[in-house]
Amino acid sequence: MADGGDSGKRRRSGGGGRCSVAGTSGVARRCVTACFTMPGRPMSAPRLMGWCLVVLMALSAPALALTPDEINTAPFVADPATPSAASPSDATNENPAKSKSGKAGKDKSARKRDKDKPKGPQGLIVKVQVLLARKSISPGEIDGMDGENYRKALAQFRRQNALGEGDRLDEATWAALGGPTTTDIVTTYTVTAKDARMRFPRTIPHDFAKQARMKRLDFTSPTEMYAERFHMSEGLLKALNPRLKTLKAGDAISVLQVAHDRPTQPVERMEAVKATGMLVLYGPGDAIIASYPATIGSADTPSPEGDYKVLRIAHDPRYEYDPKKNFQQGRNTRRLMLPPGPNNPVGTVWIALSKPTFGIHGTPAPSQVSKTSSHGCVRLTNWDAEEVAALIKPGVKMRFVEPSGS
């Protein structure tokens, strides 16, 4: 049973590039208007309906799709070089007026680079994210996007393999990851009869009192279930399966092959590094065994300081909400017991620490890990929390590392 130390708001990532219903309706209306008003070309009602159906089908699919081959055989492309910092001599002789214009120019260049970034998942990034995850250097939710957690994992891999500081993907890093020879990133999964029989709640209410009345805080759709099972964003799952809708037993979908051999060394201690938003596991000789992006407290509800120990590990936990011990959600002023499930506020795992009400746990919102605040606990994706739970045991030391200068 979770001790009510934290909560997470459901904010699953959506399918990148997908038109909204309102947007589709607007386009459809414009299509109908154009068909009726096209001069000299009267159109019959059946033909009109046929054309509009084609338009609607085209708009209902994700605008940005990927094929398994685009990921499995993704070629190496070096990261664009970042502008080097000015040398000390340059800084000393710099004209202040020019400095301001130079900064403005750099800001403009940065905005241009952000604008030029691809808008959908990229095959190369998906491949690198999977290769990192297989080495227990987690990028969090695998989405094929050039984001903070991807860069943190790259930087951690480079440090562990003496490839230098920085978070760039260069040829040496690509080779060390096994990129040139690995082609089994995407695989085919066949929907089972058990999968097809699953029933999903339409929504998970935000209010804890309403959640407490539910039998289970389960997935709300097959898309969410498969995305989490294979450590993917829903957007990436839809990009690989553009016609993903209601599936039946025997149907095949493209998913990531994320299964890997977990580290075998015993974990001796863990560090929650607040400056980088990382949970790092250490083994004998202080060797790094694994690392994960993490949400670690917030300015309003900071995580504790100092050293603690793991007390117990609970899988598929219930969540005990107690406003007198922790925080108050909305108008809920009495204790509540929330049912288990992947959409439980602490996800699928609760690792209790020797500091009462604090722990390491999963989340119902994997896309938000290390990007939003927590109520003081260490929040991971559900699959990363499950891996940590499998690697540690009660008694393992846990240290919260403060940012330097704090």
Q: Contact, 364 vs 205, CB < 8 A? A: no
Q: Is 377 a catalytic residue?
A: yes
Q: What residue type is 23 in one-letter code?
A: G
Residues in CB range of 93: below 8 A, 6 or more apart:
none
Q: Is 52 a catalytic residue?
A: no
Q: Which phi and psi (to 5°) does residue 134 adopt?
A: -65, -20
Catalytic residue among 19, 31, 231, 361: 361
Catalytic residue among 19, 206, 315, 377: 377
DSSP string, 288-301: EEEEEE-EE--SSS
Q: Contact, 361 vs 380, CB < 8 A? A: yes
Burial of 93 (0-12, 13-18, 19+ CB in 10 A): exposed
Beta strands in 237-344 (DSSP E): 252-256, 269-273, 278-282, 288-293, 295-296, 306-315, 319-321, 336-338
Encoding tokens for residue 351? 């690792």
DSSP string, 79-138: PPPPPPPPPHHHHHT--HHHHHHHHHHHHHHHHHHHHHS-SS--HHHHHHHHHHHHTTB-
Encoding tokens for residue 270? 């863990």
Kindly list the catalytic residues.
361, 377
